[in-house]
Amino acid sequence: MNRNGVVLLDSYRLTQYAESVCCYICGHGNNFDAELCRHCYAPMALAHQAASQRICPKMVAAIGPSGTGKTVYLGMLTDMLSRQTEPMQLLARGAFSIALQQTTMAALARCEFPNKTPNEPDRWNWVHCQVLRKHKRPAELIMPDLAGESLMEEIEHPNTYAVIRAFLERCSGVMVMIDAARAQRGDSDEDFQIMKLVSYLCELNPDQKSGWSARPVSLVFTKADECERCFEDPQLFATQHTPGLFQLVRERLTRHRFFAVGVAGTTGYRNEFFGRMHVPLRIEPRGIVEPFQWLVESLGP
């Protein structure tokens, strides 16, 4: 207050910070106006949307080593489901949920693959969506585009990335992405890395009824357009080229199924100033929806 007038104090705004908002992924408290969780860097919009709509979205993930095509698959999946009506349709919730679809399709339209997902969690794309199904209740899902290098770092050194551990502990199901082209070439490292992923999931919750041994797991061979035999029988392909993984999931996972997908019908190489770049020559999606549809149907009510 001064001699000529009254100055209003804004201290009442501090009361808004007295009550914290819990992150939907890790459960830690944050200020009401925080954009990202200060603990795991997940978007706080997920918590606000769940609270405003009074819903509890289920979490599903696409996991795999770096370079297996997780970003391309998720971007193509969301684009295809957002354009069709039957038997399944995807509706994005929030502007941030469209970023993954936009960047992926823009890159493919330029005959390029999207850039590798950054290792920093605050730069990951998240998708919060509603999945409409004929004669069934809609499903609310949250799907992030996790960086493959960060995922493998978390497996090698647990608790390095809090968001990965918190998310996978609460996941209702996952799609494990396996590079079919690497497996067919006899790259044993692909088999070993996927075995590490499955073992890590089983260690997160070893309970036989509520743990990962009872949750649905789609095992998806990506880049199957480079090996046609994978489309004919994905399970037989797994027994021949990833025998260690096949034996592990048969013993540890009661609800699993093998799939084969392809996005680029033909690929090639383009010379750039920094070297050769692997590019898609044409876009020919095959088997994209089936792994996701089986996973959603297996989640239950």
**What does the pLDDT look like over 129-188, one tens digit per residue?**
999 988 888 999 999 999 999 999 999 998 899 899 999 999 999 999 999 999 999 888
For 243-297, write each residue's pLDDT tens digit: 999 999 999 999 999 999 999 888 888 887 777 888 888 889 999 999 999 999 9
DSSP state of 43: B
CB 122 within 8 A of CB 41: yes
7: confidence class by pLDDT, cuts 50, 70, 90: low
Which pLDDT value is given to residue 268? 82
Which pLDDT value is given to residue 276? 83
* Mean per-residue pLDDT over the chain, rounded: 89
Mean pLDDT, residues 91-102 taken together: 93
1: confidence class by pLDDT, cuts 50, 70, 90: very low
- In total, the chain counts a number of residues equal to 301
Burial of 95 (0-12, 13-18, 19+ CB in 10 A): exposed
Query: Which pTM was predicted?
Result: 0.90
Domains located in the chain, CATH noted: 57-298 (3.40.50.300)
SS3 content of the chain, % helix, strand, coil (to 5): 40, 25, 35
Which pLDDT value is given to residue 178? 96
What are the tokens at 273? 């100033």
| Residue 8 predicted with pLDDT over 90 | no
| Residue 2 predicted with pLDDT over 60 | no
Amino acid at 271: N
| Residue 201 predicted with pLDDT over 90 | yes
| Residue 12 predicted with pLDDT over 80 | no
For 203-246, write each residue's pLDDT tens digit: 988 888 888 989 999 999 999 988 888 999 999 999 999 999 99
Burial of 9 (0-12, 13-18, 19+ CB in 10 A): exposed
